[in-house]
Structure 1
């Protein structure tokens, strides 16, 4: 029997478009084309479907300013590609390394923010109805596994949505091997991105090492991960609908932030509580999300009762409880010495984090292993793969202990301070960096033995304590 990749792929993509209502007749679609096989195949597929779907196309390409001549080569390739398809071309150049430094972001976060800013400008300038992105079922499986590794909940494990706002993913149900057959059948040319083989990036390690290893236990592991994302996505959509309805009765928008009735919030099941809180945070911090630890902190806060208390949220925001109301917004309320001791600050990695009340900042950078740490009492060198993210910073608490570098057993931090003759008045001002429930660095004094850099270390996390003027 003759197998026709063209007919198979066009039928599959059309079903995805119809199933998720990705576009409608008359839409102008910007196609994000990097020059790689996925985006080139996406462009060719939509070009083959444009008459049937009654859509118009425009090619979008961003040179991130990361890979030098290779990026310039990709840019020229995509320009030529748009000419061959007789399609309008919209291109731009960005300095992602500079943006990363200015905003204390990881390379991936910086590239993503710059890329979506470019897409948003293209939508506005060229009256685009949608931007099509070439993410595949393989990307979906990799994303679900990556989020699981990082401790994501059901919201994260639902994976990449087929449509989010103006952004659509027509290939999200197509496997990469199917696209490769399609590209060969169509005689498509494309460029290779050298960074796709750089195992410094987690996604590449998941793709090249972890998934093949898991496939030895279950050859259908990728299909199961995609199915998990679909099931959780359906459940999440239902719960989001319920959360939207109940939020209307217990949430009000005020000058200081989003105010929530605590008795009404406590009356909800945990799943709806979490979604109401996520929606509130997203309103004050667009694009932001609360992790499990933040949700737990808020729940503990509102169950305690009493007067005014607060807990820290990402990006400098707080949740403040005042009797029967919870306010999610910027800034914090006055706190007692006890509360100040209990406060935790999540570290930005890579980047700088200010530690309120301690007069210092922690700067985090990541480097490849193999470099000898410099003797600097204000810096710590940790094995990045041995720490549990996110790292947090807090002050000394009674009962704290760790395994000082060079030792094998736990030592109470109080005894450690006594041995070093640290005055009691100074102990509460020493930042403690925590990895999960363990202390990994007593800033300026000692790291934990379990996090030390070894000959087998592949990535080194350097933490530097900087005193603010």
Structure 2
């Protein structure tokens, strides 16, 4: 077994000579075999080996005895030992989480502290090939997302170093034989004999059936896991690039928008991954458990619909709305939270708007240049002071060539402005209440061509939000 594991380490470049390796040890066959393996190569590789063991205080004296067993074996093997008892029950109550999650979080907090304190290079775990098979099977049964099917990683970054799993190339049986040959009497957790836990169910009931068809199943699955991981890494790099190119984000982490044509022009494999990146961004990497492949199917169906201004609901009040050629992710409380705004705009002067943009008013003697963010009128044809505000019910405006007036609502619809943008859209009026400029969309006056009075120039300056 030693040669198999050593070859696996070299193949995956898991270990460098003259480094510090911390080994997570529970006292069971897997971790004790792993610790003994590092003991046998310690001198050859010039390693500093430190054993870490945790008592979760969930099995009373039994789990405490496990810790003492590991400590005594480290003393016998002349390996540095660090142990800790953690209060899982109090932590799970405080955080309102399950026992397994609480145990893992506290355990990894301890591992991270020790990695940083010793400036260790590696943290080694005793996960083996059967663990990999069980993990892949559970993920296949529970998940419809291929990105979750790559299994337990051989190596990943952690606490300034790397987590490594050198035993993924061998089976549970091989580790038990290794312990027997080397005179190791590991501790056995009696809960492993029960199939009440999901993993134990697969281990006891499913794995033997599969192994009867393929004795090297662990090798096959490990190869599959590595291939999927390599593919997924490439796709994630591409998805991140598309995410940066296509998705517009708000600084408040509450809204994400993309142009539908830009999005659907990308490969479907990237569309799905960008969708998941958006969810991770909006949920701050804390995805609700009740988000499933059904939500993904609903979103893809929404993209295919011709109808505009339709939406689907996600957990925690997240909404996904199709507004003309855009898809908008936003939280419910964000939809109508833009307050009514009204400020007097002095000439010359400026007003900072709630959306972070600015309206600047100046006098000038001639018309130099205009664009969609500029409005110019004659002072003699308006009633000062000017006002800038958000829209109101019944707002209408007129312009040259229009017979009568038109509702702002209809102008927004014609311009395909999403519903949630309309309540914050800046409207400029004179002191009589006549709408002069629906910024970026419609202007009451065409460009003046006479000099009977001073020109007033308004410039809508967009901020960096």
TM-score (norm 1): 0.62
Residue of structure 2 equivalent to 1:349:
none
Return the offset for 1:222: 4.8
> 3-state DSSP class of the match of 1:172?
helix
Q: Are 2:109 and 1:144 equivalent residues in the alignment?
A: no
Return the offset for 1:173: 1.3
Q: Call closer, same or farther: CA 1:227–1:20 in 2, change over 3 Å.
A: closer
Return the offset for 1:325: 5.3
Q: Call closer, same or farther: CA 1:86–1:218 in 2, change over 3 Å.
A: closer
Q: Call closer, same or farther: CA 1:319–1:15 in 2, change over 3 Å.
A: farther
Q: Are 2:184 and 1:188 equivalent residues in the alignment?
A: yes
Residue of structure 2 equivalent to 1:372:
none
- Whichever of the two has the greater Rg, that structure is 2
Match of 1:115 among 92, 102, 107: 107
Residue of structure 1 equivalent to 2:197:
201
Q: Are 2:173 and 1:173 equivalent residues in the alignment?
A: no
Q: Are 2:235 and 1:234 equivalent residues in the alignment?
A: no
User: Contact 1:141–1:223 (CA<8 Å) still a contact in 2?
Assistant: no
1:272-421 aligned within 5 A: 272-283=270-281, 284-286=283-285, 288=287, 291-304=292-305, 306-307=308-309, 309=311, 311-313=313-315, 316=316, 318=318, 320-321=320-321, 323=323, 333-334=334-335
> 3-state DSSP class of the match of 1:171?
helix
User: Contact 2:302–2:322 (CA<8 Å) still a contact in 1?
Assistant: no
Instruction: Give CA deviations for 1:277-314 in whole Å, capped at 9, x if unaligned.
Output: 3333334533648642332243344455634845324x
Instruction: Give CA deviations for 1:32-81 in whole Å, capped at 9, x if unaligned.
Output: 10110100111111222233333322111111121111110111112222
User: Contact 1:309–1:333 (CA<8 Å) still a contact in 2?
Assistant: no
User: Contact 1:244–1:276 (CA<8 Å) still a contact in 2?
Assistant: yes
Partners of 2:77 and 2:257 lie apart in 1 by 53
Residue of structure 2 equivalent to 1:54:
46
Residue of structure 2 equivalent to 1:261:
258
Q: Call closer, same or farther: CA 1:231–1:139 in 2, change over 3 Å.
A: same
Partners of 1:332 and 1:299 lie apart in 2 by 24
Q: Which runs of 5+ in 1 are unaligned?
A: 1-8, 336-469
Instruction: Give CA deviations for 1:147-198 in whole Å, capped at 9, x if unaligned.
Output: 2222343222221111122221111111122222222222222111111112
Segments ≥4 residues shifted beyond 6 Å = none
Partners of 2:327 and 2:252 lie apart in 1 by 11
> 3-state DSSP class of the match of 1:183?
helix
> 3-state DSSP class of the match of 1:192?
coil
TM-score (norm 2): 0.62
Q: Call closer, same or farther: CA 1:282–1:122 in 2, change over 3 Å.
A: farther
Q: Which runs of 5+ in 2 are unaligned?
A: 337-465
Q: Call closer, same or farther: CA 1:38–1:288 in 2, change over 3 Å.
A: farther
User: Contact 1:138–1:176 (CA<8 Å) still a contact in 2?
Assistant: yes
Partners of 1:218 and 1:317 lie apart in 2 by 47
User: Contact 2:319–2:332 (CA<8 Å) still a contact in 1?
Assistant: no
User: Contact 1:259–1:325 (CA<8 Å) still a contact in 2?
Assistant: no
Q: Call closer, same or farther: CA 1:14–1:260 in 2, change over 3 Å.
A: farther
